[in-house]
Amino acid sequence: MTIYFYTKNDTYGEFSNFSPHGVERDGLWWPTVEHYFQAQKFADDVYRERIRTAHDAKQAANLGRSRKVPLRADWEEVKDEVMYQGVLQKFQTHAELKTLLLSTGEQEIVENAPGDYYWGCGKEGTGLNRLGEILVRVRGELRQVD
């Protein structure tokens, strides 16, 4: 069986980067993984802080998608690792989320995001599902710690 998730209100919505489970990274508290991830796209500290303090994950995502501020030069090379670190921190920080993720056993996890062919599965299911792959990787690593 495959686990599909997308919005924070769905079953397994806790797997969404929009879920209200903050993380501490780089000595700062980030309200969601989405806030953290989007801010890492930029070298501009003022703009990163604006994203960190965004009202909600949707606002953080919109700020992160803006191209009015240039992306950091190495973003394409580091984005998967940035996502991994944020997701790992989330499941290490929140015991109830760790339990939920471990309860999925060996099931495939898919971000059922119709408009995202990189992090999600895309409209036709042909996307790369990198977020789902990262969740499976984190699950395996958390299992080894227990």
Tokens representing residue 6 in the block: 């997308």
Q: In the predicted model, is pLDDT for residue 93 greater than 70?
A: yes
Q: Which domains does the chain have, with CATH numbers?
A: 2-145 (1.10.357.40)
Dihedral sign for Cα atoms in the order 23, 89, 20, 55: positive
Asked if 40 contacts 82 with a C-beta cutoff of 8 angstroms, the reply is yes
pLDDT single digits (tens) 63-89: 999 999 999 999 999 999 999 999 999
pLDDT single digits (tens) 31-71: 999 999 999 999 999 999 999 999 999 999 999 999 999 99
Asked if 60 contacts 51 with a C-beta cutoff of 8 angstroms, the reply is yes
Q: In the predicted model, is pLDDT for residue 102 greater than 80?
A: yes
pLDDT score recorded for residue 117: 98
Q: In whole angstroms, give the CA distance from residue 23 to residue 91.
A: 9
Q: What is the DSSP letter of 2?
A: E
pLDDT single digits (tens) 105-117: 999 999 999 999 9
pLDDT single digits (tens) 120-141: 999 999 999 999 999 999 999 9
pLDDT score recorded for residue 146: 63
